[in-house]
Structure 1
Amino acid sequence: MARAKKKNLAKKRTSPAGRIAREQSLAPEPNRLLKVWRRVLERRLRTRLKASVAVEVHDNTHTMLTFQRHRALWRVRLHHMFLVASDDIIQALADYVRHGDAQASVTLDRYIERNKAYIRRVTPAQMRKRLRLEPTGQHHDLGRIFERLNERYFRGRVDAAITYGPAPRVTQPRKSIKMGSYSADSRVIRIHPALDQPVVPRYFVESIVFHEMLHHVYRARRGEDGRRCIHPPEFLEHERRFHDHARARAWEQENLDLLLHARVMA
């Protein structure tokens, strides 16, 4: 009996360091826990979308949500802040994915704004270091165009970088084309490589670059109806100050098919 008591006493006297190590060995691994939360989120979305769902969780600093449908499967990529979202947010997420519901979009934007503390803080300069910037094309030098427009219209105050975007993978004829984009996080302007053709006039390329530079000046905001407005009235008024605005719009209307069917080399 005495020996048995000594053994029990020895067990109770386990060192704090040993006890912590044992608890850590029994705790679930972060990656395993993440998989569990992801599967729970997939199940919550599947119930509302009435379809198969594959969720990918990321830690992006700008785009919080993207999705696309492959036959009967929804592929949803979203920020980890959504893993423990309440039922009303998950319902808004499902409504936005399925129907592009405007009110659901407002609800999600508000949720993201409330939880922006979970978004990594990365400076624009740090983000640009990760990007491959290629402003010099075969026919149009975006760097020179940007510099001249910056001096002429903005007094050199647009602190951004510019590059041609990657050649998109297109297997079917395009019905639309996004000729430019601006990332507020990295402060990078991307121009569609289809514009780097000898038949595309310089003034048209300048008009697209000028448009994206205006996004650096005029940030998106909420309209009276609660919807996100990326082209407020003052933006459109400023855009008309471009010296070849009317000519550029006329050229676009007459030559849109040329851009849609352009073969871009990767």
Structure 2
Amino acid sequence: MARPTRQKNVVRKRSYPAARLARQQPTVPEPNRLLKVWRRVLERRLRTRLRAKVAVEIHDNTHTMLTFQRQRAMFRLRLHHMFLAAPDEVIQALADFVRMGDGEASTRLDRFIERNKAYIRRVSPEQMRKRIRLEPVGRHHDLGRIFDRLNERYFQSRISAAITYGPAPRVKGPRKSIKMGSYAADSKVIRIHPALDQPVVPRYFVEWIVFHEMLHHVYRARKGEDGRRCVHPPEFMEHERRFHDFKRAQAWEDENLDLLLRSRVEG
């Protein structure tokens, strides 16, 4: 007697061409395509508020979060990518700041940037300095030697910063003000205005300006009682008075500020 045979369930595999499989798989937008979409949305949001043509460029800078310029009937803005998904009140503040230089709008933008600083790419001071051309030796004053001596005398050589002359600014007509020094906390670089590199500018005055910027390395900017950013807290001002030629340097500035304003520096 023949035994009954058990039939097996056979699942036949179907073959699909590679092109058909590719069509069936969900497509994921490319990052660059998404960026273009978000950028166009941001341009449209600004355009409705500025009532003008707007061109936006998105960047990933670590220092300057926004810049803008007006070219005839168009506003051109360079913005950090944190602004792509900014709420309406921030976009309105951005429009007010671009159109009128509104001070309150500037404050709102500062607060937004402070709240979103986690999106700013972290770069070490050493990496940032590699991008900067350091030129501390001038024709008349060697900033490196001045910095080293002040660092040893007042700070026990604990100030780990670099120093350089800044670029010669392009100024048309007489200056109304002059920024003689600056300190960048992110790169820890002190920049001194090249107008100070003149034989008529005494060494003790250059030392005072360098000393002032070194103090910015010690005393960081903070918010005051009124909520505004304070770059010269009381302890900063008290420490500055310890400079050996403080009164003499101040007196020279009062008498010779016009000389510095009139000076023309070759680039």
TMscore range, shorter length: 0.7 to 0.9
Bigger shift: residues 36-45 or 113-122 = 36-45
In the alignment, the residues of structure 1 paired with residue 42 and residue 206 of structure 2 have an alpha-carbon distance, to the nearest angstrom, of 44
In the alignment, the residues of structure 1 paired with residue 47 and residue 258 of structure 2 have an alpha-carbon distance, to the nearest angstrom, of 40
Partner residue, 1:4: none
In the alignment, the residues of structure 1 paired with residue 23 and residue 125 of structure 2 have an alpha-carbon distance, to the nearest angstrom, of 44
Q: Say if 2:266 is the partner of 1:254.
A: no
**Cα contact 1:102–1:227 (8 A) shared by 2:** no
Partner residue, 1:126: 127
Q: Give the number of equivalent residue pairs.
A: 255
> Tell me, what secondary structure is at the counterpart of 1:200?
coil
Evaluate the alpha carbon distance shift between residue 237 and residue 53 of structure 1 in structure 2; reply closer, same or farther with a 3 A threshold: farther
Q: How does 1:110-121 map onto structure 2 within 5 Å?
A: 110-121=111-122
In the alignment, the residues of structure 1 paired with residue 73 and residue 19 of structure 2 have an alpha-carbon distance, to the nearest angstrom, of 58
Partner residue, 2:105: 104
Partner residue, 1:5: none
Q: Say if 2:11 is the partner of 1:10.
A: no
Q: Say if 2:197 is the partner of 1:196.
A: yes
Evaluate the alpha carbon distance shift between residue 54 and residue 23 of structure 1 in structure 2; reply closer, same or farther with a 3 A threshold: closer
In the alignment, the residues of structure 2 paired with residue 241 and residue 72 of structure 1 have an alpha-carbon distance, to the nearest angstrom, of 53
Bigger shift: residues 67-76 or 237-246 = 67-76
Partner residue, 1:186: 187
**Cα contact 1:89–1:108 (8 A) shared by 2:** yes
Partner residue, 1:79: 80
**Cα contact 1:93–1:108 (8 A) shared by 2:** yes
Evaluate the alpha carbon distance shift between residue 76 and residue 252 of structure 1 in structure 2; reply closer, same or farther with a 3 A threshold: farther
Bigger shift: residues 38-47 or 86-95 = 38-47
Larger radius of gyration: 2
In the alignment, the residues of structure 2 paired with residue 227 and residue 99 of structure 1 have an alpha-carbon distance, to the nearest angstrom, of 20
In the alignment, the residues of structure 2 paired with residue 133 and residue 218 of structure 1 have an alpha-carbon distance, to the nearest angstrom, of 23
In the alignment, the residues of structure 1 paired with residue 189 and residue 24 of structure 2 have an alpha-carbon distance, to the nearest angstrom, of 47
In the alignment, the residues of structure 1 paired with residue 183 and residue 220 of structure 2 have an alpha-carbon distance, to the nearest angstrom, of 11
Aligned-pair identity in percent equals 76
> Tell me, what secondary structure is at the counterpart of 1:23?
coil
TM-score, structure 2 as length reference: 0.84
**Deviation readout 1:22-57 (Å, 9 max, x if unpaired):** 836xx3560x44344333323323333445544332
Evaluate the alpha carbon distance shift between residue 202 and residue 123 of structure 1 in structure 2; reply closer, same or farther with a 3 A threshold: same
Q: Say if 2:157 is the partner of 1:156.
A: yes
**Deviation readout 1:70-103 (Å, 9 max, x if unpaired):** 5655443321101110101112223334454444
TM-score, structure 1 as length reference: 0.85
In the alignment, the residues of structure 2 paired with residue 101 and residue 36 of structure 1 have an alpha-carbon distance, to the nearest angstrom, of 29
Counterpart of 1:136, as a letter, is V
In the alignment, the residues of structure 2 paired with residue 256 and residue 189 of structure 1 have an alpha-carbon distance, to the nearest angstrom, of 21
In the alignment, the residues of structure 1 paired with residue 103 and residue 64 of structure 2 have an alpha-carbon distance, to the nearest angstrom, of 18
In the alignment, the residues of structure 2 paired with residue 14 and residue 43 of structure 1 have an alpha-carbon distance, to the nearest angstrom, of 38
Q: Say if 2:225 is the partner of 1:224.
A: yes
> Tell me, what secondary structure is at the counterpart of 1:168?
coil
> Tell me, what secondary structure is at the counterpart of 2:16?
helix
Give ranges in structure 2 of 5+ residues lacking alignment.
1-13
Q: Say if 2:142 is the partner of 1:141.
A: yes
In the alignment, the residues of structure 1 paired with residue 53 and residue 256 of structure 2 have an alpha-carbon distance, to the nearest angstrom, of 41
Partner residue, 1:206: 207
In the alignment, the residues of structure 2 paired with residue 229 and residue 247 of structure 1 have an alpha-carbon distance, to the nearest angstrom, of 26
**Cα contact 1:64–1:79 (8 A) shared by 2:** yes
Q: Say if 2:35 is the partner of 1:34.
A: yes
Counterpart of 1:219, as a letter, is R
**Cα contact 1:106–1:226 (8 A) shared by 2:** no
Cα RMSD, aligned residues only: 2.7
Partner residue, 1:3: none
Counterpart of 2:231, as a letter, is I
> Tell me, what secondary structure is at the counterpart of 1:136?
coil
